[in-house]
Structure 1
Amino acid sequence: MYCYMARQPILDAQKNLYGYELLFRDGESNAFPNINDDEATSKLITEHHLLMGVEKITGGQLAFINFSADTLIHHFPTSINPKSMVIEILETVPISSELMTACKQLHGMGYQLALDDHDFDPKWDIFLPYISIIKVDVQQFNLLQISKYVSRVRHYNVTLLAEKVETAEEFNKLRQLGFQLFQGYFFARPEMLKHKNISSSKLNLMLLIAEASKVELNFDDLSQIVERDLGLSYKLLRFVNSASFAREKPIGSLKHAMVYMGEAELKKFIALLALANLSENNGSELLNMSVVRARFCDQLAALNQDELNPPSAFLTGLFSLVDALLEQPLAGLLQDLPILPEIKSALLEHRGKLGQYLELAKAFERADWESQQQLTRQTLNKAVDLSPVYLEAVDWAHGLMLTAREEDKV
């Protein structure tokens, strides 16, 4: 029996990462909408938190976790540090004196409580003194209904979280109404802005991306590119020398790096560094998601024994959110990005093996386990538990991003 996990980002009003909602299900039953809430929460704690720790899954960010009535009453959340978690009370939980007592006790122990999918029913008002966050599915109500409710609860010390925000327009209106946290497709999908050309100052980064997509790395061409930008060259060397990737001896030159790491690995880091610098003024969580997808797709390619040079699966995952990072429509952007045609086909049309790898990554993000299982069989020609592979990708990306942030401080 397997336990599956996905995480969905929650952002603040400045689009900075605030935490993740963790979604855990029993994949073997293949009936996810009807899974027993107590069983799902039990598996969350026993098969994920106790094995590897919620903090590792979230990279140290807050974890938003659903709990049913019985798990709350029996204090299941207390096995997790209150500084690491927000307890979400499911909208289907029946109100009782036992539930009220449990909420008071958990609140007194320092846990943040959230009402999930709140429907504005006044019956929940007696819980509000112990509630830190109210989550509202904004697709279920119009703006007038939401505005009236916000006014009614304004005197409570609660933070409003908008779920299922799908557009930048919705995000901006809800922010004006007083919502402070946001979750939904406004983050995963790009904001459709008027097309902008990439500035000439970023030409070197584009050329680096092109080098990473080639079958054979031309070290002379690579040297000429990075020599035009001393800061970029310095960052690349520090990046390769970082704790996450260093070998027994420090690396002193790009040629040394290529020999020591191998071309395929070096190309991945060149592409990652270029994309990070292209998107330096946008949210780091988008880049983090891109790196998770890149690592996961790369591992799928290895399982399928694909040719790893150039690292096409890695690049497919890495550039899958490039439109959101650069705030440009994907189709127009890919005309300017010098990457392989099969990668462009995977990104635009979800075609080929690369497209399947990317769809598998997205299925994990959505916690769409039925699609994930079907895609796994189609892609690998057998049923395989890929949840450890995905968790490893999350952990790898966290280590990489942590190292990158530390290097930026130097």
Structure 2
Amino acid sequence: MDTPDISNTATPAPADLDDANIARIARQAIVDDKRDVFGYELFDRSVAHKAHTAASDAALLFNALSYAGTEALVGKKTVFINCTHESLSGAHLELIHPDRVVLEVPALPADATQQEIDACVPTFNALRQRGFRLAFDQNLLRRNYAAWLPMASFVKLDMQTFGLEHAEKLVKFARNYTRAQIVAEKVETAEQFEHMQSLEVKLFQGFWFAQPQVVQARTIRPTHATVIQLINLVRQQASTEEIEELLKKDPTLSFNLLRFINSSGFGLSCEITSFRHAVMILGLKKLFRWAALLLTTSRAGGTPPAVGQTAVVRGRLMELLSAELLPPEESDHAFVVGVFSLLDVMLGQPMTKALESVALPQSVVDALVHNKGVFAPFLELTRACESGDDDAFARAANALQLSNHQVNWAHLQALSWADSLINEEVA
């Protein structure tokens, strides 16, 4: 039979990477009756999340959007996420675009009372009003779940729990009492597929079509101290300028924010390439939610301090040098070039691969990847300042017509600025 094209387009992380720095997300295709991919169900396979909890639900969505490269993971397809009832009220859902996500809602425990079942309806209604679609398993078709029936956009029928002779009755009931699309799941044989197809079921999932595939991605996480500092700024309703200054201090923080806000799950129609624009688009409320989620997936260490400090010095030095010769907005981009110039080291992968998951202006990419364009000479001079190579320093400074005094003074300022940031964190 023909199988859908669901090849794993994301590059697996090297086996020797620290497990704490790897996001593992399994996906399984949901296909239509022509076996074209309709969407993907995602499962968290990270080491840190063995149990399915509200925290793991939040981490799964956060990792899918921020780390694994949403385009490589699911493309433009619909995403199905298994939820706990606790996570359905979670603030993490405010960070995603509801058009892209279907929330899979489990039945309550067998000993749940009718009052407890009915009490879920207001939560479902609130989610639907925000634009989310809900999927339920076949327990929805039981008498005591009648109040849930109008909430369903999808009903998933588990082919391993009933014989084919009962399929028609279940399908008819679902069609008579809901407006939901029916998904035949755990389809493992051609006979099951053909029988459900004859009942005009249009969506299918199971090993007969595709086994779950695990996509791995290297993550870089800011230190707890930096994320807490961001959270405090947001809670104090700090200005955009103050928040932008913090983002400039930590390349891992700014990298994660740009990658997150430009993921397809966030739903923007244009790419955001500056820290200031990202803060303004996200707003304080969503920025707080994002930072809180980032804190739960961060650890005490983060990127090695020497690498992060060097990146910050580069960013500040390029910003100062370019301010002598370029318009203010170009100096902002020069800072980004410098601070992201060590992404390949942070991520342990080539620069071209590292930049695939973050939206940047072409002039920034040209400097980082091709060593050309308006920012390339500034980056070359910045590297020369680190190398101690007098000849390379002289060539790079002369190319920009900057005096030794100008460059050395800017370098000292950049080093002082980076040192002050470290002292702030220690304090």
* TM-score > 0.5 by shorter chain: no
TM-score (norm. length: structure 1): 0.43
- Rg (Cα) greater in structure: 2
